[in-house]
A and B are shown apart, each in its own frame.
Chain A
């Protein structure tokens, strides 16, 4: 069965600190996709990144970076020099790339990040 675990329920940091959000997943498939979504107080989930299981290159986008390690089944998300606007709930999600599956995401429980000024 597929499962996504975000062990950190809440994290609180002071602005400009770096923060890493952990994500561990389980799947029997060899082909799958991993996602991170951000949910601000307004409620809508906002897509941040998608990686497929064959691409283990780390990715950097501005202050955001992602570390994908298949050996440990982890897909961690780091925010460098955090800002108050980064305060939100962050979800890691898994989707299997099997035929017919086009959008069923298995979400983790979410990590609430609070960035204090």
Chain B
């Protein structure tokens, strides 16, 4: 079974530029999550999708971050414009049902550096 795929693996941009991350979850998984992990901290949930609908985006900075999950499969997370404090690893995760509290399967993440 293929795992959660993310790209790119690394990204370096200047502040005020835009950037996008892509995630392909495990086949058949209904629920997809984007987490932000700042160096030295645990991951923090940004947004959760159930199929192609948003379940929780309470911690997503909506003035600069956006995410979509078209057709309930792949997802894209965008930052526009980026700030220095957005430097972090962006982790995508998926789970099978999104019912109850399941274990999550994580991708390797995209490491973003904003200069």
Binding site for B on A (CB under 8 A): 4, 33, 35, 37, 42-47, 50, 91, 93, 95, 97, 100-105, 107-110
Query: Which chain B residue lies CB-closest to A46?
Result: B106
Please give the number of chain B residues whose Cβ is less than 8 angstroms from any Cβ of chain A in the complex.
32
Given contact pairs A47-B104, A109-B40, a sample of 6 additional A-B residue pairs in the complex whose CB atoms are under 8 Å apart: A43-B89, A97-B100, A101-B101, A102-B100, A103-B45, A103-B101
7 pairs of A and B residues whose beta carbons are closest in the complex: A107-B42, A43-B108, A47-B103, A45-B106, A33-B101, A102-B98, A44-B106
**Does B109 interact with chain A (Cβ within 8 Å)?**
yes
Could you tell me the distance between the alpha carbons of A35 and B102 in the complex, rounded to whole angstroms?
Answer: 10
**Cross-interface CB contact of A35 among B44, B50, B103, B111, cutoff 8 Å:** B103
Check B42–A103 contact: CB distance below 8 A. no
Contact call A110/B100, Cβ cutoff below 8 A: no
- SS class, residues of chain A in contact with chain B: loop
Task: Give residues 29-83 of B contacting A (CB, 8 Å).
Answer: 31, 33, 40-45, 48, 50, 55-56
Q: How far is the CB of A90 from chain B (nearest CB, A)?
A: 11
